[in-house]
Amino acid sequence: MMHEVVVVDIGGTHARFAIASIGADGAIALDTPETLHTADHASFQTAWQHFRELRGGSLPQAVSMAIAGPVGSPGNLNPVIRFTNNPWIIRPALINEKLEVERFTLVNDFAAVAHAVARADDSQFLHLAGPDQPLGSEGTISVIGPGTGLGVAHLYRSGSDYRVQATEGGHIDFAPLDSIEDAILARLRSRHNRVSVERVVAGPAIVDIYEALAAMEGRSVPELDAITIWGLGTSGEDSLAAAAVDRFCLSLGSAAGDLALAQGGFAGVVIAGGLGYRIRDTLLASGFAARFKAKGRFESLMANIPVKLIVHPQPGLFGAAAAFASEHA
């Protein structure tokens, strides 16, 4: 029997909606997503109503939402869910009434990505490092996503069964490995009491990396935003920006290796998120793989972990559907 569910991936800037079909065998298919700007809607309910209008005035009576923020556990949801970068709030106790649905699932956005990793087929992954083999069917897989921040989750697989755990692993301490990273840390420490890894391994961090490298060389550079630096660096148009991008890739490799060690992610590591996909060619040509496995006495262990990039076009929506299927199986 086929089930349909509205799936939503809500971030600070955009809310993506789609209708997912979930087959009796667990296979998931998405229709064409709609992307709405959160700033254009006073609340999630009005955005929901807009999507319903786009779909002809009626929707399935089930919804699964991937939310950029803590939601609690399936049996113990937060009474009020707030978003980090938009003013919407969601009260789980009112979802059935306000959205006119019978069943719902709420999941952290990066937990949703981990659900997507668990259910995506091998064709949805690009090989980055380690042995060129599929992710393991047994054990823990670490999922890491550099974006506006650094999302971290992991999943434990046992054959066809799996469990997902969202974490706040992006907020562990940044650990420099050489004098250049010492300089980046010193720059960040002048503004922050504590420097977490996402201060270096996230999209906006490229500005601090770029400016730290310029200061090391005694160069005066114009103030550039992150998008500009990423563009100059990945194109090779600016050598200092290119060095900053390469340094980002090195630090991402180190952080991914640290998290795999901490989580026991020996069945595989997956890099997720739009930034990872946009710089995939740069990652492959960089020192990411060397840094990932550079863990001293555990180098041979790290070298045997397959590291992948998920290339599914909508992992948040796909993962929201997978989370719904798991909760309401």
Strand partners, 127: 308
- Three-state SS for 20? strand
Q: Is 11 annotated as a binding residue?
A: yes
Q: Is 28 annotated as a binding residue?
A: no
Give me 146's structure tokens: 């550099």
> What confidence tens digit (pLDDT) does each residue in 116-166 have?
999 999 999 999 999 999 999 999 999 999 988 899 999 999 988 999 998
pLDDT for residue 296 is more than 80: yes
Delineate the domains of the chain, giving CATH numbers in brackets.
Answer: 3-115+312-327 (3.30.420.40), 169-310 (3.40.367.20)
Count CB-CB contacts under 10 A for residue 223: 7
pLDDT for residue 12 is more than 80: no
Q: Against a cut of 0.75, is the pTM above it?
A: yes
Q: Is 10 annotated as a binding residue?
A: yes
Q: Is 159 annotated as a binding residue?
A: no
> What confidence tens digit (pLDDT) does each residue in 227-282 have?
999 999 999 999 999 999 999 999 999 999 999 999 999 999 999 988 888 999 99
CA dist 312 → 53, 103, 117, 172, 277 (Å): 27, 26, 9, 27, 10
